[in-house]
Each structure stands twice: as C-alpha cells, then as structure tokens.
C-alpha cells in the first residue's frame, strides 16, 4: 500500500462525501446541459482527483492500483461523466508517461497533470483503426530533429479540453503492424492540429470526445515517450497503459452497479402493487439478488487483480477477465434496475435510464468485450 490505512480511509471518505453531497445533486443538470460546471472541476482539482495515480514526487497522490480501484469504485456512485473528466489524467492520458517517460518528460508534464492544469488525452483510435489498434495509419515522418505527423484520430476522450496528447503514429512505414508504431507527446497548441466538432453521444453527457486531425504537425524527436530508444516501441506503452486502465474501468463498473442496486432496492421497497411493496415479490428479489451477487463477484475479481498487479505480477489476462466480466455485469445490472422501476425506469426523471445509457460505453472502449475474449483465449493458448 502506498498510503497508510487511516490516510486511505480519509481520502475515500472525502471522495464519498463529495460524490454524495456535491455530484449526485448535479447529475440531471449536467446531463441536460451536457456540461460540468467549472466550479465543480475546480473543486476536483482542489481535492487532488486529477492526480490520484500520478507519483507523489510529481505532485500526485501516488495511489497504487488497488487504492486507485477503491477510489474509482466510490466515484462510480455518480454519473460516469464526472469520472471521465479526471479519467484520462489518471489513466490512459498519463500512465504511458509515468511508466515509460524520460525523467525530463515526467518533470515537464506530470506536475501540471496532477494539479489538473494540464489535461491529457490518449489518441490511438482512427477512422479505420479500432479493435485492430496495431494497424495505426497516422504517420510520423522523420525530418531532421523532428517528426512530421499526418492523420486523423477518432473518438478521443477529453480532446476538446486537452493540453497534451499521447499520439500513436507509425514511424516505420515498412512495418504495417504494431512494431512500427511510436508514442509521441504532442502539445495541443502545436501548429497543424485541428479538432473536430464534439461527437453527439448516447450517454455520459458532460464528457466530451472528438476527432483530432494532424496536418503536417511537427513534433521534436525528443517528444517520443522514453526518447529515441523507444522508437517503434510505442505499442508496448499503449498495452501497458491499457492493462491498468482496464482495471480502472472494471472498478468503475462495480461502483456504478452498486449505485444501480441501491436505487433499484430503494424503489422496490417504496413502490407498492397488489397491496404490497414490490420488493416482497420473489421475481423482483431474484433480480436484486442476481445483481448483488454479480457485483460482488466483479468486485472480488478487480481487487484481486489489482493486488496482484501491485505485487509485480503480469496481469494482462486478469485485467481482460475483469474488464469482460465487470462491464458485461454492469450492463445486466442496469437492465434489471430499469426493469424493477417499471415505466418510471424509462423516464428521464429517474437516474436509472441515464445510467443505462452511460454504462453501455464500458463494454466498448479500452477494448470491446470481444477483444477481451480474444486476449484471454490467446494468452491461455500461448501459456499452455
Ligand atoms: C465515447 C468513446 C470514447 C472513446 N475514447 C477513446 C480515447 O480516448 N482514445 C482512443 O484512442 N479511443 C477511444 N475510443 C475508441 C474505442 O476504444 C473504440 O471505439 C473501440 O476500441 C472499438 O473500436 P471501433 O469502434 O473501431 O470498433 P471495431 O473495431 O470496428 O469493432 C466493431 C465490432 O467488431 C468486433 N470485432 C472487431 N474485431 C474483432 C475480432 N477480432 N473478433 C471478434 N470481434 C471483433 C468488435 O468487438 C465490435 O463489436 C472511444 C470510443 C468511444 C465510443
């Protein structure tokens, strides 16, 4: 554990109070306005939420994986859009730098990311490159001491507010697979970067994604994560980043499931039909019980995989098992929670319909459920 028990509990209690008193009451407003108020973002900064996983020497809280999962599970009790604002700085937008960056790169960017002054974004996906992420087409051509980037990145979380992109681009045109790709740190103000219009999403209103287009964008060779020694090795950085990111999304799924179960239980105990609270009907109880058991199973999986990662074990297979099970689980829990609400569950007035749309994304990004299945099976066959 990076933190002693009492400091960790204090942190978790503070986040819990912030979620309950400040964020939950704002959920409907954020969803209808598709915007998180700036003062809330400032409060997140003051609480240190942007730097949960950034090492202490760079101004963050330096949480290990288990502690990060505990914190994210608490954040899951409110709309995932709030988590998305701090998500990239704690996950895919910073961890490549934390794991593989040079000392100079870390000193330059991590303190600003920890405080929330710098928003980091992770740009891997492209219009024709999704699940087959090693097939990156964005090119980075060497020109003296610089590389010149050309290409389009798609669905990039927090891109509209980003100051720093981690961009995966092909530095070896002879190689069409993952081995010819490097990870670049690109300042958002660099000439040659254009942002698309924010995408209209089915859920997680308040969190924004858009295209990022590179037109002859010059980035110095020194901006390759880890320096020129890491030329053509960027895909390894992306995969290591995603191992931790998948545990983060799994913990978030558990948190959202717990919130949905709490909402469904409260509704079932309140709502009366046939002269009784619907919670007394065994068919309703079955939905509550299945949800509870599945959320508990996912929670145990996530915490076990997180502890193993902290102990130095390689957890690629387990991270994919967690992502597959936890994100599918929260989909089933959301569906049952909505069913328990009956017609009311279909109405905007109740949070459950919003969560139903919000959690759908978890099964898609950071590797779809099918990609998690292929990773798990591929590793099983390799190890046999
Ligand atoms: C809101 C949102 C935010 C995102 N944020 C980011 C971000 O910050 N950075 C970033 O780089 N990307 C981001 N993404 C992109 C996301 O990671 C991809 O959408 C995802 O990896 C799937 O790629 P795709 O959409 O191209 O689907 P495709 O790869 O085209 O997949 C389509 C379908 O085919 C299935 N499929 C594909 N290959 C196989 C296979 N081998 N076996 C079986 N089935 C297969 C998939 O599971 C899926 O069901 C985001 C996406 C969304 C929607």
Residue nearest to ligand 1 atom 42, measured at CA? 370
Q: Residues of the chain with pLDDT > 90: what percent? A: 98
Model pLDDT, residue 203: 97
Contact present, 185 and 105 (Cβ < 8 Å): yes
Rg (CA), the chain: 21
CA distances from 378 to 53, 127, 244, 250, 357 (A): 30, 26, 19, 21, 31
First-to-last CA distance in the chain?
Answer: 33
Task: For ligand 1, pick from 88, 151, 364, 376 the residue to mutate: most ligand atoms within 8 Å of CB.
Answer: 364
Look at residue 138 and tell me whether its pLDDT is greater than 70: yes
d(CA 100, CA 97): 5
Q: Residues of the chain with pLDDT > 70: what percent? A: 99
Longest dimension (CA), the chain: 79
Look at residue 2 and tell me whether its pLDDT is greater than 90: no
Contacts of 378 (CB under 8 A, 6+ apart): none
Residue nearest to ligand 1 atom 24, measured at CA? 130
Model pLDDT, residue 313: 96
Closest listed residue to residue 155, CA positions, set 133, 186, 122, 193: 122
Model pLDDT, residue 73: 98
Model pLDDT, residue 249: 97
Model pLDDT, residue 274: 98
d(CA 94, CA 101): 10
CA–centroid distance, 364 to ligand 1, in Å, is 6
Contact present, 81 and 263 (Cβ < 8 Å): no
Give residue-wise pLDDT tens across range 144-170.
999 999 999 999 999 999 999 999 999
d(CA 135, CA 185): 19
d(CA 81, CA 256): 12
Give residue-wise pLDDT tens across range 231-272.
999 999 999 999 899 999 999 999 999 999 999 999 999 999
Q: How far is CA 93 from the centre of its chain?
A: 9
Look at residue 12 and tell me whether its pLDDT is greater than 60: yes
Give residue-wise pLDDT tens across range 209-239.
999 999 999 999 999 999 999 999 999 999 9
CA–centroid distance, 371 to ligand 1, in Å, is 9
**Mean pLDDT value across the chain:** 97
Task: For ligand 1, pick from 158, 320, 365, 366 the residue to mutate: most ligand atoms within 8 Å of CB.
Answer: 365
Confidence of residue 1 (pLDDT cuts 50, 70, 90): low
Contact present, 276 and 327 (Cβ < 8 Å): no
Residue nearest to ligand 1 atom 32, measured at CA? 131
Contacts 24+ apart (CB under 8 A), 267-274: 267/340, 267/341, 267/344, 267/350, 268/340, 271/342
The secondary structure element, H or E, covering residue 149 is strand 146-157
CA–centroid distance, 324 to ligand 1, in Å, is 14
Residue nearest to ligand 1 atom 38, measured at CA? 131
CA–centroid distance, 130 to ligand 1, in Å, is 5
In this structure, the residues whose C-beta lies within 6 A of any atom of ligand 1 are 122-125, 130-131, 155-157, 201, 209, 361, 364-365, 367-368, 370-371, 374
CA–centroid distance, 129 to ligand 1, in Å, is 8
d(CA 155, CA 168): 14
Ligand 1 atom showing the smallest separation from residue 364 Cα: 20
Closest listed residue to residue 168, CA positions, set 241, 103, 102: 241
Model pLDDT, residue 3: 83
Ligand 1 atom showing the smallest separation from residue 207 Cα: 1
Residue nearest to ligand 1 atom 41, measured at CA? 371
Look at residue 275 and tell me whether its pLDDT is greater than 70: yes
d(CA 105, CA 58): 11
CA–centroid distance, 210 to ligand 1, in Å, is 15
Model pLDDT, residue 176: 87
Give residue-wise pLDDT tens across range 284-330.
999 999 999 999 999 999 999 999 999 999 999 999 999 999 999 99
Contact present, 341 and 288 (Cβ < 8 Å): no
Ligand 1 atom showing the smallest separation from residue 158 Cα: 8
Residue nearest to ligand 1 atom 30, measured at CA? 130
Look at residue 108 and tell me whether its pLDDT is greater than 70: yes
d(CA 66, CA 317): 17
Model pLDDT, residue 368: 98
CA–centroid distance, 36 to ligand 1, in Å, is 26
Active site residues: 366
Residue nearest to ligand 1 atom 45, measured at CA? 370
């Amino acid at each position: 554990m990076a933190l002693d028990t009492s400091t960790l509990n204090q942190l978790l209690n503070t986040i819990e109070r912030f979620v309950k008193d400040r964020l939950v009451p704002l959920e409907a407003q954020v969803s209808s306005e598709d915007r998180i108020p700036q003062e809330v973002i400032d409060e997140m900064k003051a609480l240190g939420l942007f730097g949960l996983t950034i090492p202490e020497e760079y101004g963050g809280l330096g949480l290990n994986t288990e502690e990060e999962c505990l914190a994210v599970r608490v954040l899951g009790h409110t709309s995932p859009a709030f988590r998305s604002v701090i998500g990239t700085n704690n996950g895919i937008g910073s961890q490549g730098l934390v794991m593989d960056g040079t000392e100079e790169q870390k000193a330059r960017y991590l303190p600003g990311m920890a405080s929330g002054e710098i928003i980091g974004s992770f740009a891997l996906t492209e219009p024709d490159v999704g699940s087959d992420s090693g097939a990156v087409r964005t090119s980075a051509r060497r020109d003296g001491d610089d590389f010149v980037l050309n290409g389009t990145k798609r669905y990039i979380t927090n891109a509209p507010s980003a100051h720093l992109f981690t961009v995966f681009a092909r530095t070896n045109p002879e190689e069409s697979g993952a081995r010819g790709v490097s990870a670049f740190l690109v300042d958002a103000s660099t000439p040659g970067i254009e942002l698309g219009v924010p995408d209209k999403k089915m859920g997680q209103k308040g969190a924004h994604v858009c295209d990022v287009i590179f037109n002859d964008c010059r980035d110095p060779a020194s901006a390759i994560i880890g320096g020129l020694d890491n030329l053509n090795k960027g895909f390894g950085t992306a995969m290591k980043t995603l191992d931790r990111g998948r545990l983060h999304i799994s913990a978030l799924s558990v948190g959202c499931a717990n919130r949905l179960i709490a909402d469904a239980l409260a509704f079932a105990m309140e709502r009366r039909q046939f002269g009784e609270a619907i919670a007394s009907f065994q068919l309703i109880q079955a939905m509550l019980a299945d949800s509870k058991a599945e959320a508990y199973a996912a929670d145990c999986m996530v915490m076990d995989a997180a502890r193993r990662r902290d102990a130095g074990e390689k957890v690629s297979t387990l991270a994919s098992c967690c992502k597959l099970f936890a994100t599918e689980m929260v989909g089933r829990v959301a569906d049952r929670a909505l069913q328990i609400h009956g017609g009311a569950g279909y109405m905007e007035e109740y949070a459950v319909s919003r969560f139903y749309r919000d959690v759908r994304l978890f099964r898609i990004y950071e590797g779809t459920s099918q990609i998690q299945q292929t990773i798990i099976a591929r590793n099983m066959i390799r190890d046999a």
